[in-house]
Amino acid sequence: MRTLPSLFFVAISLCTAIPAIAWDYEGHRAVNQVALESLPTDFPAFIKEPEARERIAFLAGEPDRWRNVSDLSLRHTNGPDHYIDIEEIEEAGIPTDQLNEFRHVYTVQYAAGRAAHPDRFPQIDPEKNKDHVRELAGYLPWSITESYARLKSGFSYLKAYEERGGTPEEIANARANIIYIMGVMGHYVGDAAQPLHTTKHFNGWAGDNPKGYTTARTFHAWIDSGFFIKTGGIHASKLVTRIKPAAYLPPPSNANGRSPLFVNVLNYVLAQQKQVEPLYALEKAGKLSPEKPESAEGRTFLEEQILTAGNMLGSIWMTAWKDAPPDTYLISTLEQRKASAATQPAKP
């Protein structure tokens, strides 16, 4: 659970004299651009048109833009979609291989775990919990998985429109929907590769700290923005030679009856959570201090996280495209429309 201000705006407040180039908008934009570069040559061509590529890159920042209003209903639903505190799930007594793939069932599962272990969780101050997110551990894997399903749907009905007589307007709208979903979901895949989005140690080490890691409440913003700004920004064009091709995501071995995509996403998130302590260790060793030559190692670490996110995103896009089923209802509707049109008398 956390109440972290919008990272997009934290970056600005920390670096008011420096352009906001970081793992905020620019970093998320780079993730989407890396993903686009990772796609196979036979991926739908409209995605590779310059306007579509720019739209997908721009939309990488959309979920953070939703933070610019104070409406509690949006803060309640949007905030937890950006993170998951793995340690809190474990403290609730839930093994990660038993996490339910359904968002609302998981919510009940986690609430029951918190209630069973009240001594493991701090008391919640209602005055600091107006949006009711402090009792949540986050929904990041579900945000990604649900976006994948929406994208699969988009490819299904686009194919129906393209192959069964959809109008140019219908095809254009279906393509626009796919572009929107691809762009927005990239934000969450990028969030997952920022290790501090997977942990209760999201903004300085929390609780017992035997290794003496930083407890600075500016650490998250430094990783998201400050460090990259001080070391030249982050640009996909400089990462091109290190981009790996997107790959279809096969069913994982530890699905336990859950959807393969959910488990692939969860495994991806858990792998990024393993990078939390190495990230803190880099800071402790001075390798995230731009003035030191050792900072090159810190920058390489964070660039690899951007590349990891881009590869995973491209692979999710590719899997959604490959797995999109026929939209039988729409196909039937289009066939009926075609048959009806054929029986209409010709216009004089």
In this predicted model, what pLDDT tens digit does every residue of 292-320 receive, in sequence order? 999 999 999 999 999 999 999 999 999 99
Is residue 25 a contact partner of residue 64, using CB atoms and an 8 Å limit?
A: yes
In a domain, 126, yes or no: no
Is residue 180 a contact partner of residue 158, using CB atoms and an 8 Å limit?
A: no
- Name the pLDDT band for 7 (thresholds 50, 70, 90): very low
Residue pLDDT, tens place only, 68-78 = 999 999 999 99
The per-residue b/e assignment along 292-317, b for 16 or more CB within 10 angstroms, e otherwise, is eeebeebbebbbebbbbbbbbbbbbb
d(CA 336, CA 341): 9
Segment 165-180 shows an average pLDDT of 98
Is residue 28 a contact partner of residue 307, using CB atoms and an 8 Å limit?
A: no
The number of CA neighbours under 13 Å toward the Cβ of 347 is 1
In a domain, 112, yes or no: no
> What pLDDT, on a 0 to 100 scale, did the predictor assign at position 135?
95
> What pLDDT, on a 0 to 100 scale, did the predictor assign at position 24?
84
In a domain, 109, yes or no: no
Own/partner pairs, 338-344, CB within 8 angstroms, 24+ separation: 338/164, 338/165
Number of domains in the chain: 1
d(CA 63, CA 59): 8
> What pLDDT, on a 0 to 100 scale, did the predictor assign at position 23?
54
In a domain, 192, yes or no: yes
Which neighbouring-strand residues pair with 138?
84
Is residue 64 a contact partner of residue 122, using CB atoms and an 8 Å limit?
A: no
In a domain, 277, yes or no: yes
> What pLDDT, on a 0 to 100 scale, did the predictor assign at position 348?
65
d(CA 207, CA 222): 21
Maximum mean pLDDT: which of 23-27, 255-259, 305-309: 305-309
Q: Residues, the chain, total?
A: 348
From 13, 2, 1, select the one nearest 222 (Cα to Cα).
Answer: 13
The per-residue b/e assignment along 187-211, b for 16 or more CB within 10 angstroms, e otherwise, is bbbbbbbbbbbbbbbbbbbeeeeee
DSSP structure class, residue 42: T
In a domain, 348, yes or no: no
Structure tokens belonging to residue 21: 């180039």
CATH of the domain at 51: 1.10.575
Segment 94-119 shows an average pLDDT of 97
In a domain, 97, yes or no: no
In a domain, 319, yes or no: yes
pTM for the predicted model, two decimal places: 0.92
Which neighbouring-strand residues pair with 84?
138
Find the domain containing 151 and state its range: 7-83+136-334
130 phi/psi in degrees, rounded to 5: -60, -30
User: Reduced to 3 states, what is the DSSP secondary structure of residue 138?
Assistant: strand
DSSP structure class, residue 51: H
